[in-house]
Amino acid sequence: MKKLIAILSLALLPLSAMAGGGEVHLDEANIDLANHAAIQRGAKTFVNYCMGCHSAQYFRYSKLTEVGLTEQEIKDNLMLGGGKIRDQMTIAMSPADAAEWFGAPPPDLTLIARVKHDGADWLYSYLRSFYVDDSRPMGVNNTVFPNVGMPHVLADLQGVQKAVYKEVKHGDKTEHVVDHLELVEPGSMTPAEYDATVRDLVTFLVHVSEPMKLERQRLGIWVLLFLGVLFVLAYLLKKEYWKDIH
Ligand code: HEC
């Protein structure tokens, strides 16, 4: 019995760890996976700003025809390094070099939206939460991913944010924690435009992590309806079979 309890509590451990991880506040991404134009815009941002370091190697360029792009449009606008339409979204940078440059390798992002708890909200918040921190090697830090190795690659668009701190007392120790971020130097976009750009990028990343999601949900409804009809038929059949016995 003791063993069983031990095993059960071990099995539940990841849950408690997840519950404890909810300290950072995440903003809601509010993405719409049926919005193909958003996925297309997000793909463009991804190839322009992210694929210098991150691949999405379990996704093929040709799959973007499913969100309304033609093969020619994909080739002209998204396949910056040339290649074939059926190619996967890979990059040339070697993980070993990258780890040396950034202190950590930039992970493949195909499944990132599913790996993260609250994937879309996490990504949306993360990409909007970089702030200047001279103590970090890249000159920036991030409230959602503290001490991140990634530079703020969208800084030209968003501008520069500074942290405004507040004091938090733990017994007789006071700690300075980030209260909120403040835009101190505007980028080429307004905050609303930047949020919209990030939302599109996140829509793309969620789509890539599960291209069949909408299809699966649609199918799910039909499966449930089918089971419902089957239940009624089975019930009527059962009544028919048993009617002479009672
Ligand atoms: C100059 C290289 C570089 C570029 C460009 C870049 N990243 Fe990163 N990114 C990194 C590195 C390095 C890490 C790993 C940081 C760490 O673990 O500390 C990272 C981490 C991440 C993570 C966290 C992954 C995890 O496992 O927690 C996400 C999400 C991410 N990047 C998204 C993006 C997106 C979206 C873009 C495009 C807007 C982008 N990155 C552009 C270098 C880059």
Q: Given this model, what pLDDT does residue 19 score? A: 46
CA-nearest of 13, 20, 80 to 44 is 80
- For the CA of 205, the closest atom of ligand 1 is 35
Q: Given this model, what pLDDT does residue 144 score? A: 95
The contacts of residue 103 (CB under 8 Å, 6+ apart) are 137, 149
**Which regions of the chain are under pLDDT 50?**
16-22
Atom 33 of ligand 1, residue of closest alpha carbon: 50
Whether the Cβ atoms of residue 68 and residue 121 lie closer than 8 Å to each other? no
Q: Given this model, what pLDDT does residue 1 score? A: 65
What's the burial of 61, exposed, middle or buried (CB within 10 Å: 0-12/13-18/19+)? buried
Structure confidence by residue, pLDDT tens digits, 185-205: 999 999 999 999 999 999 999
Q: 54 C-alpha vs ligand 1 centroid, how far in Å?
A: 7
Whether 42 is in the pocket of ligand 1, judged by its Cβ within 6 Å, is no
Q: Given this model, what pLDDT does residue 15 score? A: 52
Q: Given this model, what pLDDT does residue 4 score? A: 66
How far is Cα 107 from Cα 142, in angstroms, rounded to an integer?
Answer: 17
How far is Cα 10 from Cα 211, in angstroms, rounded to an integer?
Answer: 33
Q: Given this model, what pLDDT does residue 26 score? A: 94
How far is Cα 184 from Cα 155, in angstroms, rounded to an integer?
Answer: 12
Q: Given this model, what pLDDT does residue 223 score? A: 93
The contacts of residue 193 (CB under 8 Å, 6+ apart) are none
Q: Given this model, what pLDDT does residue 14 score? A: 55
Whether the Cβ atoms of residue 130 and residue 155 lie closer than 8 Å to each other? yes
Whether 106 is in the pocket of ligand 1, judged by its Cβ within 6 Å, is yes
The contacts of residue 93 (CB under 8 Å, 6+ apart) are 52, 53, 106
Taking the alpha carbons of 123, 128, 133, 139 in that order, is the dihedral positive or negative?
Answer: positive
Q: Using a CB cutoff of 8 Å and minimum separation of 24, what contacts does 172-178 make?
A: 178/131, 178/143
CA-nearest of 221, 217, 208, 198 to 66 is 208
Whether 150 is in the pocket of ligand 1, judged by its Cβ within 6 Å, is yes
Whether 43 is in the pocket of ligand 1, judged by its Cβ within 6 Å, is no
